Structure 1
Amino acid sequence: MTKVMLVINPSSGKGSGKEIQEDLEEALGKSYDEVETRMTEGAGDAKNWAKEAADDQYDGVVVVGGDGTVNEGITGLAEAENKIPFGFIPLGTANDLARALGINLDPKIAAKELADFTTRKIDIAKINDAYFCNVAAIGAIPSAVMETSSEEKSKFGFFAYVRDSMRALFKDKEHTYELVFDNDELIEISTKVIIVALTNSVGSVENMIQDATPDDGLLHVMALKEENLLTELPNLIHELNGGYISEANNMVTYNVKHVSISVKDDDEAEVKANIDGEVGPALPIDIEVLPSFLDVMVPNHKTE
């Protein structure tokens, strides 16, 4: 007898998780003898239940929700001793991991495609005592994104992030950071944003990092290096229209396996990281990639 746990966040995606519950149970029933469905009621449920599923030797766990719920599921599996396949239906605003893995952003289609899936390994990363599967972001822009209300995200979608990000670029001050990479290379940079990503898609921008893949075993570290917005913005807009942001003249990019980041400002202001769209730990932080850590369910698109 094979068994899968289905964890649905009923508040994500304007309640669309409940709407696809029946489709999901039917689709998963093609691969598993038993589908156990649970509805989250609060923060931590998806994390605890994913860990429980692994520890109790279920044959898989599928999480339905936004980026934060997906992160919880992956964190639960990261903390478990036993490893089991992980599936997810994206109901968030950015859905970057889904974009990188070719999972359909229409939840009804994504649910039905789980009737015939294969698995592929992906990297995740550990940041202090937490984990992320897509991005850790530091600075004014991530801080603004963290303050974007759920109501605004539901009403305006990705444009709510764009609006708040642009406000942050013009309004907020930059910090000076010290970054130490795997080979003990040390750099100091004054910037408004640092991104540590695992895939090519960040903030639903799929051309963020050239050549980045979910299983390349690397952290892709990016930072804005220009202070003059009149210099920054035209270049970034140009890259958004077809190039890669990581290749823009005003970006500095490093591909590493480990990075430590600390704030070097005289006022020692507290700066927090944003991990997969949620508030993360305050700096200093230590990030390492965990290569090919997780088996993720993806559509089995057979070629004719």
Structure 2
Amino acid sequence: MQAALVVNAASRSGHEAFETAEKRLRERGLDLTHAREVTDPEHLADVVRSVVDEGARLVVLGGGDGTVSSVAALLPEAGITLGLLPTGTANDLARTLGLPTDLVAACDVVADGRPARVDLGVVGDDVYLNLASVGLAVEVTKSLSPRLKRRLGAAAYPVAALRAYLRHRPFAAALHFPDGDHPDVELGDLLQVGVANGRYYGGGAVAAPEAEIDEGLLDVYAIPRGTAGQRLGVARHFVSGAFTRADHVLHVRTRRVRLTTSPSLPANVDGELSARTPLDFGVRPGALRVLVPADSPAP
């Protein structure tokens, strides 16, 4: 199988990783026909498209969650297998798949790993892997400067979350379930609405205890501002995802949902502010083929 290495040099450790990854993959016997270091993330999709057009059937992608999301739609359509080298800040997809964050070990998974199929979330005309949300998460993204991420790594997320909470303004939302599997709801005074495809997001937070990336379902939650005690309870259990079991938090599992907010709000999609409400969400079960370790939780 012809392979291509494409590394987002703008990711947290992307520039340093490129030469190491290329050397290790060649040592492990990969037929590496292309090796591209991309300094401008805007060009990632074009580079991946070009190596696929030139015959690559395995794309080894170095970057974070935003890097994978930016090219994920191209891979299933061309029948491409993804090998992931997690060189970003959060690396939540790698965490979901049980991939090592050590670069050499991740290269070895590309050489020795087994293929698994995972779901792609759909938001509008685009796809995503982990979580799309409106509310607090958007303010967190705005607070996550490149300087803060380089300096603190994954620890930048709780710092940004505190900053976001202090300036957040509650909003109203309506959730419509076109398949009729849940009654439509209208909610006010909200802190956040999230629609999760994967299990982890935001540097290791769990979307919901039941969330998985291979079951063909989305986990939808809505967090009202509630009382001070309720907010404290959500904060205490936010990383574990157990906040979704609180009585005042809405949590449902579905294949499709339409989210409308008042006012219209930007959405954080896998760490990028790339959409705005109203938004239609769906899921493409098993659409992405990716290499994982033998003991990965992915099927």
TM-score (norm 2): 0.88
Structure 1 CA distance for aligned equivalents of residues 241 and 136 of structure 2: 24
Q: 2:212, 2:137 → 1: CA distance?
A: 24
CA contact (8 A) 2:216 2:286 kept: yes
Given that residues 55 and 82 in structure 1 are in contact (C-alpha distance below 8 angstroms), is that contact kept between their aligned partners in structure 2?
A: no
> How far apart in 2 are the matches of 1:297 and 1:197?
22
Specify the SS of the correspondent of 1:13: coil
- 1 CA distance for matches of 2:209 and 2:86? 23
Q: Using a 3 Å threshold, how does the CA distance of structure 1 residues 76 and 41 change in structure 2: closer, same or farther?
A: farther
Q: CA deviation at 1:141?
A: 2.8
SS at match of 2:201: coil
Alignment-derived partner of residue 153 in structure 1? 149
Structure 1's 229 and 18: CA in aligned 2 closer, same or farther, altered over 3 A? Answer: farther
Checking the alignment, whether the CA contact within 8 Å between 1:86 and 1:297 is kept in structure 2 is yes
Provide the aligned C-alpha RMSD in A.
2.3
Matched, 1:291 2:290: no
Bigger mean CA deviation after superposition, 179-188 or 276-285: 179-188
1:25 and 1:157 map into 2 onto residues whose CA distance is 26
Distance 1:7 1:196, change over 3 A: same
How far, CA to CA, are the matches of 1:284 and 1:188 in structure 2? 14
Q: Find 2:169's aligned residue among 166, 173, 179.
A: 173
Residues 243 and 84 of structure 1: CA distance in aligned 2, closer, same or farther (over 3 Å): closer
**What letter is aligned with 1:138?**
V
Give the match for residue 212 of structure 2: 213
2 CA distance for matches of 1:271 and 1:8? 32
Give CA-to-partner distance per residue, 1:95-131, whole Å, 9 cap, x none.
1111110001222321233220111000002211221
Name the CA distance, whole Å, in 2 between partners of 1:26 and 1:245: 45
Deviates more, 1:169-178 or 1:41-50: 41-50
Does structure 2 conserve the Cα–Cα contact (< 8 Å) formed by 1:224 and 1:252? yes
Deviations 1:153-207 (A, max 9, x none): 1112223221221232233111101111243431111212111111221213354
Q: Which runs of 5+ in 2 are unaligned?
A: none
Q: Which amino acid in 1 is paired with 2:260?
A: S
1:64 corresponds in structure 2 to 62
Aligned with 2:72: secondary structure? helix
Residue 253 of structure 2 is matched in structure 1 by 255
Deviation at 1:24, TM superposition (A): 4.0
| Count of residues in Structure 1 that have an aligned counterpart in Structure 2 | 292
Contact 2:207-2:219 at 8 Å conserved across structures:
no
Name whichever of 164-173 and 289-298 sits farther off: 164-173
Residue pairs, 1:193-212, within 5 angstroms: 193-212=192-211
The code of the aligned residue for 2:75 comes to L
Distance 1:24 1:131 in 2: 31
Structure 1 unmatched ranges of 5 or more? none
String of CA shifts for 1:6-52, please: whole Å, max 9, x gaps: 1011232233322522344326x53x434311111313322223333
Letter in 2 for 1:66: G
TM-score (normalised: structure 1): 0.87
2-structure distance, mates of 1:169, 1:246: 19
